[in-house]
Amino acid sequence: MLTYEYECEMCGLRFERQQAISEDPLTECPECRGKVRRLISGGAGFLFKGSGPDQASRSEGGCSLERTGRTCCGRQERCGDSSCGRE
């Protein structure tokens, strides 16, 4: 289920509704029965969880050169990037 934001063109009421992506947009205000339009909102970011190779190197902290032979950016020597830790 996704959360959609609507605004009534008649009374100005703004409200949210959870709907399946396959559902048609709402057309009527729950307050005054005026016409509503679905607003474009910022949405939500994605949070990836898991134990992928990038996640493992971040959780151990510092440069991965000593552990894997490559830095966080894939080089075989220190790149000077602050996320690699030491230069």
d(CA 44, CA 11): 28
According to the model, what pLDDT value does residue 76 have? 66
According to the model, what pLDDT value does residue 87 have? 43
According to the model, what pLDDT value does residue 57 have? 46
Asked if 63 and 78 count as a contact pair (C-beta separation under 8 A), the reply is yes
According to the model, what pLDDT value does residue 1 have? 83
Q: Which among 67, 58, 65, 60 is positioned nearest to 86, based on CA atoms?
A: 65
d(CA 17, CA 14): 10
pLDDT in tens, 8-64: 999 999 999 999 989 999 999 999 999 999 998 766 666 677 665 555 445 555 556
User: 28 has which bridge partners?
Assistant: 35
What mean pLDDT do residues 74-78 have? 67
- Compute the half-sphere exposure of residue 75: CA atoms within 13 Å on the CB side of its CA: 10
